[in-house]
Amino acid sequence: KIYTGENMKFLICFLLSFNLYALEISNERVRLLPPGSPTTALFLDFQNTSNQEVSLIKAESNISKKVELHDHIMKDGMMKMEEVSKITIPANSKISLKPGGLHIMMIGLKDDLKEGQEIEVKLIFDNKETKVIKPKVVKFMPHHHKHKH
C-alpha cells in the first residue's frame, strides 16, 4: 500500500497519541501557601506503562515567572533542594513527586493562589510530547508527630 501525505499524517498522529497514553498522570496538586509567598510546588504521580523510559525535561505555567524541576539531595549532612535537569520515569513503573522528594517548583508567583483554584501547567517530555494538566491548589495538612506516653 502507498501512503499519501494525508494517510501518513494520520498514521503519525495515531502513533503519537497511542504512545502518549502510555504515561498517566494522577494525584496532581499545588500547595497552598500563605499570601505573599513567592514560590509554591506542584506534586503528582507518573505511571509509565510503556517499555521505554520517559523524562520530564521542562514545565511551564503562566502563574509564575519560572518553573523548575527540583529534588531534595543530601549535601554535607543536610537536606538541600536542588534544581535537576530532568525527572525520569522508568519503563513500566510509577514515581511520585511529593514533599521532601522530587517536585516541580513555581518561582516568582504573579498573584496569591487561592484554595480550590485550578491552574494550568504544561509538561514537556524528552520524546517531544507535551501534556497540559490542570491541578487544583490545596491546603496541605501539617505533619504532627504524636507521642504516646
Q: What percent of the chain has pLDDT over 90?
A: 66
pTM of the model: 0.80
pLDDT for res 128: 86
For the chain, the average pLDDT equals: 86
The SS3 call for residue 60 is: strand
144: pLDDT confidence band, cut at 50, 70 and 90? very low
- What distance in Å separates the CA atoms of residue 51 and residue 53, rounded to the nearest whole number? 7
pLDDT for res 145: 45
54: pLDDT strictly greater than 50:
yes
The SS3 call for residue 26 is: strand
Q: Count other Cβ atoms within 10 Å, centred on residue 6.
A: 8
- The length of the chain in residues reads 149
- What distance in Å separates the CA atoms of residue 35 and residue 14, rounded to the nearest whole number? 45
pLDDT for res 33: 92
- Report how far apart, in Å, the C-alpha atoms of 54 and of each of 19, 20, 88, 124 are: 11, 10, 6, 10
